[in-house]
A and B are shown apart, each in its own frame.
Chain A
Amino acid sequence: MISWPIAISTARERGFLKLPLFWMAGLFLMGLFQGGGSRGAEAFTGGGEAWLIFFVLILSGGLISDEVDSGHAQLVLLKPITRAQWVSGRFTGAAIVLSAGVLLSWMGSLIMAFVHGGDALLVLRLQVLPLALLTALPWMATAVALSVVIRGWANVGVMVGGMIAWGISRHVLPQLLLLKGFDVEPYFKAIEPYAGPQNVLKDLLAGTLTPSTALWNLFWLFAAWTLAVLLFDRRELARRRA
């Protein structure tokens, strides 16, 4: 299902660029200065959450389309691998770099917990690693699916646009409509848990983490991944030159 040579090469290709390296350093600092609390999940909330999501976007910008547009995807897919293996390999490669970034942040938070002499229980802290990935990977799968059908880094633009549009709708629209006498806040509250992948670490800190939220993220991850594979299976691989 996954082409490991593609995954390794993608991790090498994405992980050694200046921007992801800078962002990884930022994740480490977030861990140091924000994640020294009892569980370390704080590193991925507030500013840390935004930093993590942008790291995802940096890693998955043009992840599929850049390869197709350059023509390298044609050469690779003329080798004996399936399109599904290639898409999954690209996704996995970017996910490997993401995992490295998450691990750095986690290590930063662990160091700070020790420095502060606080509760640095490793077992409790370890659960932050899979949960951070469970928050970030569904976003990455979404960006990959968009990259199959949109050129260049436009997948990042669409996702940022979507997030801004949702943020404005969620926080401004109910207030405006309330002035006109319509109370839509309960409806927004009802759909919010299904508006994209959820930050399960926030729920962990609030003590409200339920299996349904984690399952929703897992569902989103596999749905977006499957969609990416299905869409890529249908598309042509060569662009007509200008």
Chain B
Amino acid sequence: MTAALSAQGLTKRYWTASGGAFLAVDNFSLEVQPGEIIGLLGPNGAGKTTAMQLALGLLHPDAGIARLFGLDPEDLTARRQVGYAPDAPLFPKVLTGKQVLELHCDLLGADRSRVPQLIEQLNFVEASRRPTATYSRGQQQRLGFAQALLGEPALLLLDEPTAGLDPAGVAQVREILVGVKSRGGAVLLNSHLLSEVERVCDRVLFVKGGKLLRTHEVGAGGKRAELRLANAAQVALEIAAKLPAGVLEGDRLRVPVPDESAVPKLVREVVALGGEILEVKLAGAELEELYLRLVEGQA
């Protein structure tokens, strides 16, 4: 199967005012297959955005090659299948959101009936009638996301799509990404929100200093149950003795579990030890720890 996006050895240097070189992306390779959501995780300035722009052909690599559906990124057939939503997009100030979407629709040769659908789906009906100069960061983000979705792209590249969005907006983005995946679309997602990445991504790439540090299969390392206890201090000793894998921090007990089916048994065990459970949450076990260890350099 042809990869939706493939990049081999992408390298990009920027020249500083003092004449020195800054390596923004260093020998970066990745592949995104149809039906897959890949997350890019890394601190600010890690080279995630530059890597995306290189893959899209917006920047010229100093070395390496990028392909969209096996074609050159500048190929118009490839571009017809791609949607890109940058971080903090800006639009012509005098045009309304609807006019911007209609312009992008016309460029795609797509049916304009998609425009009101997307405006409603992304919940900016009132704002869409106003010039974009009056938009808040969140509204601009929604408009940028909407233009990326116009042609029902087979490959979606999103740079911090949830930045500036309210919780409802974040949930909408998540829903849409799952929808894209379910119809066989591929997504490359650059986000700082570990919880979001964990919820929607199949694989996560950790990036730092322009280098790909590690690829991580989400869920491969099992999950982690987090229990909030009303009487954590009273049952701490029993838990330490009977559940040695568990870590008690404040009122929260974190226990690694193979999958969600193990949670009811764990809850019964904690109750049997005298624990009074207020809340139970299930999260990927390793992502945060991995991020801190690999990217932030913490033990």
Q: Do A and B come together as binding partners?
A: yes
- The residues of A with any CB-CB pair to B shorter than 8 Å are 3, 5-6, 9, 12-13, 16-17, 67, 70-72, 74-82, 236-238, 240-241
A-B residue pair count with CB separations less than 8 angstroms: 78
A82 cross-chain contacts in B, Cβ below 8 A: 76
Name A80's contact: one of B94, B99, B109 (CB within 8 Å).
B109
Which of B100-108, B113-121, B202-210, B214-222 is near enough to bind chain A?
A: B100-108
Name B107's contact: one of A67, A74, A76 (CB within 8 Å).
A76
Which of B78-86, B168-176, B185-193, B266-274 is near enough to bind chain A?
A: B78-86
Nearest to A79 among chain B residues (CB) is B107
Name B90's contact: one of A12, A71, A79, A237 (CB within 8 Å).
A71
A13 cross-chain contacts in B, Cβ below 8 A: 92, 94-95
Q: Are A78 and B53 in contact (CB under 8 A)?
A: no
Q: Are A75 and B108 in contact (CB under 8 A)?
A: no
Least distance between A192 CB and chain B CB atoms (Å)? 39
B59 cross-chain contacts in A, Cβ below 8 A: 236-238
**Complex Cα distance A81/B107, Å?**
7
Nearest to A13 among chain B residues (CB) is B92
Of A3, A16, A75, A80, most buried by chain B (CB within 10 Å of CB) is: A75
A3 cross-chain contacts in B, Cβ below 8 A: 107
Q: Are B79 and A9 in contact (CB under 8 A)?
A: no
Nearest to B81 among chain A residues (CB) is A80
Nearest to B89 among chain A residues (CB) is A71
What are 23 inter-chain pairs, A to B, with CB distance below 8 A? A6-B107, A9-B95, A9-B103, A70-B91, A71-B89, A71-B90, A72-B91, A74-B84, A75-B84, A75-B89, A75-B104, A75-B147, A76-B107, A78-B56, A78-B58, A78-B83, A80-B109, A81-B76, A81-B107, A82-B76, A237-B53, A238-B50, A240-B50
Q: Are B92 and A9 in contact (CB under 8 A)?
A: yes
Least distance between A2 CB and chain B CB atoms (Å)? 13
Nearest to B85 among chain A residues (CB) is A75
B80 cross-chain contacts in A, Cβ below 8 A: 79-80
Q: Does residue B144 face the partner (Cβ distance < 8 Å to A)?
A: yes
Q: Are B108 and A79 in contact (CB under 8 A)?
A: yes
Name A240's contact: one of B24, B84, B89, B91 (CB within 8 Å).
B24
Name B144's contact: one of A9, A75, A80, A81 (CB within 8 Å).
A75
B60 cross-chain contacts in A, Cβ below 8 A: 236
Q: Are B58 and A238 in contact (CB under 8 A)?
A: yes
B56 cross-chain contacts in A, Cβ below 8 A: 78
Least distance between B60 CB and chain A CB atoms (Å)? 6
B128 cross-chain contacts in A, Cβ below 8 A: none
Of A72, A77, A79, most buried by chain B (CB within 10 Å of CB) is: A79
Q: Are A17 and B94 in contact (CB under 8 A)?
A: yes
Q: Does residue B49 face the partner (Cβ distance < 8 Å to A)?
A: yes
Q: Are A240 and B14 in contact (CB under 8 A)?
A: yes
Q: Are A72 and B79 in contact (CB under 8 A)?
A: no
**Complex Cα distance A25/B24, Å?**
50
Nearest to A237 among chain B residues (CB) is B58
A81 cross-chain contacts in B, Cβ below 8 A: 76, 107
Chain B positions 133 through 160: 1 when the CB is less than 8 Å from some CB of chain A, otherwise 0: 0000000000010010001000000000
Least distance between A89 CB and chain B CB atoms (Å)? 10
**Complex Cα distance A236/B79, Å?**
17
Name B99's contact: one of A9, A17, A78, A238 (CB within 8 Å).
A9
**Complex Cα distance A60/B14, Å?**
30
Nearest 5 A/B pairs, CB to CB: A5-B106, A70-B90, A79-B107, A80-B76, A237-B58
